[in-house]
Amino acid sequence: MIRFNQQGLSSLIILLVVVVLAGGGFAGYKYLNTKNSTSSTTPSAKVTKKVVVSQRSKTPGVVLAALTAHGYNPKTGAAIKPDKYFTTKDTPLYLLMNINKPKIGTRLEYVRYLQGKYLDHKSIKITQPNLKFAYFDWNNKPGKSHKKGVYRVRLYSNGVLEKKINYVISSK
């Protein structure tokens, strides 16, 4: 009579059960997958798939560069004391943009966040041809100062994100 080792037999049975369960799971998956992918017996309308290529994912290139500064030269658009760090008393702050001669009617916009929360937004519409620079400014109201924190600014042209910049306001 042939005798089996009890411990070896139990390991063999466990292995056999695992293989059967895995095979059954795989077969069930294949069955459900093919059942869901076949067409039903009821008539259905023909579905056509259209692929729309979005132009929004491509940056238009209207805003070539952007920076924050303490001032600017209105004739040349050059920054006066460009900086990323300001104090609560600095006023006004400027966001200067070098732009690539946008078409008349192009809308430039910023959205500003303070400490990750929406703060404000503003837009300008281009009304003159061949412009090479534009700016936004932020002034304090009399008796008020800028809030301390990290500011994030997102620049858009006609609703498409062009540039991201950050600046910091501290009490120093």
User: Does the pLDDT at position 34 exceed 80?
Assistant: no
87-118: burial string, b at 16+ Cβ within 10 Å, e else = eeebbebbbbbebeebeeebebbbbbbbeeee
Residue 140: per-residue pLDDT: 80
Cα(62)–Cα(160) distance, integer angstroms: 10
pLDDT > 70: percent of the chain: 80
The half-sphere exposure of 102 on its side-chain side, counting CA atoms within 13 A, is 22
Residue 50 pLDDT level (bands cut at 50, 70, 90): low
- Greater pLDDT, 43 or 99: 99
Sequence-separated (6 or more) residues with CB below 8 Å from residue 99? 62, 63, 64, 108, 131, 132, 133, 134
Q: Given this model, what pLDDT does residue 31 score?
A: 78
Statement: residue 15 has pLDDT above 70? yes
Q: Which residues pair with 137 in a beta bridge?
A: 94
What are the distances in angstroms from CA 3 to CA 9, 11, 14, 16, 21? 10, 16, 19, 20, 28
The rounded distance, in Å, linking the Cα atoms of 84 and 151 is: 10
Q: Is the pLDDT of residue 42 over 60?
A: no
pLDDT above 90 as % of the chain: 35
pLDDT digits (tens, 9 = 90+) for 66-77: 999 999 888 888
Instruction: Answer whether residue 18 shows pLDDT above 60.
Output: yes
pLDDT at 12: 73
Can you tell me the distance from the alpha carbon of 91 to that of 138, in angstroms, rounded to the nearest whole number?
A: 7
The neighbouring-strand residues paired with 35 are: none
Q: In the chain, where do the E strands start and end?
A: 63-72, 79-82, 85-87, 93-99, 107-114, 117-125, 133-138, 149-157, 160-170
Q: Can you tell me whether residue 45 is helix, strand or coil?
A: coil
